[in-house]
């Protein structure tokens, strides 16, 4: 490992990551030994400048591209990727709104001081209490996900004596993303309303409007609701941006159809999140400037073809902002060589966390990279699998990675690109306590969310 270590490791590490001459990795000027000594391991380490730069990059790329075709754009950071009070504040300070998926996420955004008007509330099964809290906070948009919800939001708004700003989430039939469970535009899934009208009983033609259109019509008919626009989220970890363009055109067609039926031309179109990142060395993330330029052109073309004015546009990137900014720092415990059927040896390297701090390998078969980050080694690399400490054989952190053959107890190991959907999907399986979220900037680290303790967990157990 000592030979040819790049000074800047590049993808998939955050931009503040460097290798010192002695092989120690540092994040924004803070070495991993200092981070481990101060905060313990496992720890989520977040490169603040990198997070902010990616938030800015998405905002400026989309603003530039959409202004060039004559409309404006709002970028909402999808808080489900990683949400802490500081993180919500960073997104806000960089000019982004915050997309929330529950009352809990909404509470974090509000605690951070994000104005309600710049917050959106999603969810396929919002409670009345969540809807009520959102209206009380003056959220900019509630994204309605079913016909039944139209009535529920209208009733809560009526009870408050207010008018609720809503978007309707539709499914466009565009399937995108890396794994079926994260491709939310499939028709046979719980999210959104299909733009395809149901077939008639005799199998010929359509029997009335599509679920999407029926819901839009229901919103238009309710005086307690103001229809802002149409929303579509096509999937996650998307590396081919064509799907966004196809989905946007479908949404614009629906918008034109609604205008033809009702005279209501909605102002806004949102194509959600899903912008893919690099998880492994050599992978290329989506470039926001390219995606934005092609999407803006596709939207402008579609609007022109349909003879409708351009809508205001919005997007909701989560992973692309938080993912690359974070790494997880672990300490190596047990190292065990295991003979494989084909004669090879796989070295199982156990770390002090696992599926409780990163469920993505177990849930989606997601692939990650790992490196020893505390020292150099000239030992021959060996085929390794990084595993956690849980009572479960699927507790895999990194399926396959080459690590120095002298990897040993006490080594520091880092897994890059864990900023999104690591902490936010963490659990307490086996009563492990969730790691802290530590932000690093300008040569100093600070704890954004402290490590849980067993006492925290026991405090919930009333005996």
What would the two tokens of residue 277 be? 């990142």
What would the two tokens of residue 59 be? 């905002």
Q: Does residue 99 belong to the site contacting ligand LLP (CB under 6 A)?
A: yes
Q: C-alpha distances in angstroms, 42 versus 137, 248, 434? A: 36, 41, 9
Closest distance of CB 248 from ligand LLP, Å: 15
In Å, the largest CA–CA distance within the chain is: 74
Q: How far apart are CA 371 and CA 460, in angstroms?
A: 36
Mind giving me the DSSP string for 390-427? SS-TT-EEEEEEEEETT--TT-EEEEES-SSSSGGG--
What would the two tokens of residue 81 be? 């990727």
Strands 326-339 and 345-351, how do they pair?
antiparallel
Is the CB of 25 or the CB of 98 nearer to ligand LLP? 98
Is the CB of 39 or the CB of 122 nearer to ligand LLP? 122
Q: How far apart are CA 63 and CA 289, in angstroms?
A: 10
Catalytic residue among 391, 459, 460, 462: 391
Tell me how many residues contact ligand LLP (CB under 6 A): 23
Q: Does residue 236 belong to the site contacting ligand LLP (CB under 6 A)?
A: yes
Please identify, among the stretches 103-111, 216-224, 269-277, 346-354, the one whose residues bind ligand LLP according to the rule CB under 6 A: 269-277
Instruction: Decide if 245 contacts 294 (C-beta within 8 A).
Output: yes
User: Known catalytic residue: 452?
Assistant: no
Q: Does residue 182 belong to the site contacting ligand LLP (CB under 6 A)?
A: yes
| Among 141, 319, 369, 385, interactor with ligand LLP by CB under 6 A | 319
Q: Does residue 421 belong to the site contacting ligand LLP (CB under 6 A)?
A: yes
Q: Which of residues 44-63 bind ligand LLP (CB under 6 A)?
A: none
Instruction: Decide if 156 contacts 134 (C-beta within 8 A).
Output: no
Q: Does residue 390 belong to the site contacting ligand LLP (CB under 6 A)?
A: no
Residues listed for the chain: 463
Q: C-alpha distances in angstroms, 198 versus 23, 121, 151? A: 61, 28, 22
Please identify, among the stretches 42-50, 205-213, 395-403, 419-427, the one whose residues bind ligand LLP according to the rule CB under 6 A: 419-427
What are the beta bridge partners of residue 382? 403
Q: How far apart are CA 168 and CA 217, in angstroms?
A: 10
Please identify, among the stretches 75-83, 90-98, 104-112, 430-438, the one whose residues bind ligand LLP according to the rule CB under 6 A: 75-83
Closest distance of CB 76 from ligand LLP, Å: 8
| Among 12, 79, 318, 435, interactor with ligand LLP by CB under 6 A | 318
Q: C-alpha distances in angstroms, 168 versus 19, 30, 231, 232? A: 47, 45, 6, 8
Q: Does residue 122 belong to the site contacting ligand LLP (CB under 6 A)?
A: yes
Is the CB of 71 or the CB of 237 nearer to ligand LLP? 237
Is the CB of 185 or the CB of 373 nearer to ligand LLP? 185
Q: Does residue 81 belong to the site contacting ligand LLP (CB under 6 A)?
A: yes
Please identify, among the stretches 127-135, 159-167, 298-306, 317-325, the one whose residues bind ligand LLP according to the rule CB under 6 A: 317-325
Closest distance of CB 103 from ligand LLP, Å: 16
Mind giving me the DSSP string for 228-248? EEEE---EESB--THHHHHHH
Active site residues: 391
State the residues that interact with ligand LLP by CB under 6 A. Answer: 78, 80-81, 99, 122, 182, 184, 233, 236-237, 272-275, 316-320, 360, 420-421, 425
């Amino acid at each position: 490992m000592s030979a040819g270590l790049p000074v800047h490791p590049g993808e998939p590490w955050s931009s503040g990551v460097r290798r010192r001459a002695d092989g120690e990795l540092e994040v924004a000027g803070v070495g991993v030994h200092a981070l481990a000594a101060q905060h313990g391991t496992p720890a989520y380490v977040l490169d603040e400048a990198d997070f902010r730069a990616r938030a800015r990059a998405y905002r400026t790329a989309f603003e530039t591209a959409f202004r060039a075709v004559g409309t404006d754009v709002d970028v909402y950071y999808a808080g489900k990727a990683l949400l802490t009070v500081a993180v919500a504040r960073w997104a806000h300070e960089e000019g982004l709104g915050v997309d929330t998926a529950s009352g809990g996420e909404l509470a974090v955004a509000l605690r951070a001081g994000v104005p309600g008007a710049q917050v959106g509330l999603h969810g396929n099964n919002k409670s009345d209490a969540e809807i009520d809290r959102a209206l009380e906070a003056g959220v900019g948009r509630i994204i309605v996900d079913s016909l039944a919800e139209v009535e529920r939001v209208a009733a809560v708004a009526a009870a408050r004596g207010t008018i609720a700003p809503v978007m309707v989430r539709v499914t466009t039939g565009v399937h995108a993303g890396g794994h079926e469970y994260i491709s939310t535009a499939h028709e046979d899934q719980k999210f959104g309303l299909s733009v395809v009208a149901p077939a008639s009983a005799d199998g010929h033609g359509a029997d009335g409007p599509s679920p999407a259109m029926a819901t839009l019509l229901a919103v238009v008919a309710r005086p307690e609701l103001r229809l802002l626009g149409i929303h579509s989220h096509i999937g996650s970890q998307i590396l081919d941006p064509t799907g966004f363009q196809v989905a946007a055109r479908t949404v614009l067609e629906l918008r034109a159809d609604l205008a033809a039926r009702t005279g209501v031309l909605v102002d806004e179109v949102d194509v959600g999140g899903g912008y893919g990142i690099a998880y492994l060395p050599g992978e290329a993330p989506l470039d926001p400037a390219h995606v934005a330029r092609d999407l803006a052109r596709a939207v402008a073309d579609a609007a022109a073809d349909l003879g409708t004015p351009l809508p205001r546009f919005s997007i909701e990137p989560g992973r692309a902002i938080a993912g690359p900014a974070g790494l997880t720092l672990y300490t190596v415990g047990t190292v065990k060589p295991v003979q494989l059927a084909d004669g090879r040896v796989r070295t199982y390297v156990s770390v002090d966390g696992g599926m409780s701090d990163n469920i993505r390998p177990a849930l989606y078969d997601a692939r990650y990279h790992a490196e020893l980050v505390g020292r150099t080694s000239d030992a021959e690399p060996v085929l390794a699998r990084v595993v956690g400490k849980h009572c479960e054989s699927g507790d895999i952190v990194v399926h396959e990675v080459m690590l120095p053959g002298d990897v040993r107890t006490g080594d520091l190991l880092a897994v890059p690109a864990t900023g999104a959907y690591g902490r936010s999907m963490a659990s307490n399986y086996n009563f492990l306590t969730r790691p802290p979220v530590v932000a690093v900037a300008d040569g100093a680290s600070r704890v954004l969310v402290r490590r849980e303790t067993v006492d925290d967990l026991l405090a919930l157990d009333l005996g």
